[in-house]
Amino acid sequence: MAAGRKPAPLAAYVRKRDFTKTAEPRGRERKRPQGLYVIQKHRASQLHYDLRLEAEGVLKSWSVPKGPSLDTAVKRLAMAVEDHPVEYGSFEGIIPEGEYGGGTVMLWDTGRYELENGLTWREAEEKGRIRFTLQGKKLKGVWNLTRMRGRQWLLIKSRDAYASKDVDITLEKPRSVKSRRLLAGIARAEGGDVSRAATGDPKPAK
């Protein structure tokens, strides 16, 4: 790479994947207005939720191990990961075992977002506090991503009409917004590991 030249936004994403084996979209940087919001529930080696916000032509992404909480007192760890292509925002299916992130992916929520505080994406990211309003199918209202150190951020719900101490949204609404399936159903239909995927679904009531 020439001195001073920034790596391509999706270079890390492409480098980690063999697109002859995985159905994940190769994608490309997109020049269009930002605003897409996605959370994908992902049962790989561990269960986690991938938060993605469209900005600068890609999906800026964080891995949230415990998923989002509507409780304003709860601070969820969110680890920044590589940018993903905008096309990834509709992906649901199986990443083959042996590939990066191998496991079952669910489109858990999607919608639009808007930045708050009158900042651009670059300004908010550099300040280490990204405050945004969600209009998703499941998540709504104001949220905050606050940088701690390195790749470590915190995802926190702001106090508003959509905050709640009584609802665990990941258990209350566990199904895909794309197909209405649980993780096990996605794995069963698309040739994944059903038993492992099922460990990411709520346990049936006895």
37-47 per-position pLDDT tens digit: 999 999 999 99
- pLDDT score of 64: 98
| pLDDT per position as a tens digit, 45-104 | 999 999 999 999 999 999 999 999 999 999 999 999 999 999 999 999 999 999 999 999
Is the pLDDT confidence value at 113 over 50? Answer: yes
Report the length, in residues, of the chain: 206
Selection from 7, 127, 93, 108 nearest residue 52 by Cα: 108
Average pLDDT of 2-22?
82
**Cα 24 to Cα 198: distance, rounded to the nearest angstrom:** 21
Q: Which pTM was predicted? A: 0.92
Residue 6: CB partners within 8 Å, gap ≥ 6? none
Displacement of CA 82 from its chain's centroid (Å):
11
The SS3 call for residue 136 is strand
Binned at pLDDT 50, 70 and 90, residue 203 comes out as confident
Higher pLDDT, 186 or 30: 186
Is residue 81 within 8 A of residue 88, CB to CB? The reply is no
DSSP 18: -
Q: What is the pLDDT of residue 5?
A: 55
The pLDDT, as a whole number, for residue 1 is 43
User: Average pLDDT of 110-116?
Assistant: 97
Which one-letter DSSP state was computed for residue 158?
A: P
Instruction: Out of 84-93, 104-113, 132-141, 197-206, pick the least confident.
Output: 197-206
DSSP string covering 102-127: -EEEEEEEEEEEEE-TT--HHHHHHH
Residue 39's SS3 state is strand
Q: Which residues share a beta bridge with 80?
A: 62
For 141-159, write each residue's pLDDT tens digit: 999 999 999 999 999 999 9
User: In this predicted structure, what is the pLDDT of residue 2?
Assistant: 47
Q: Are 94 and 192 in contact (CB under 8 A)?
A: yes
* The predicted structure's pLDDT at residue 156: 98
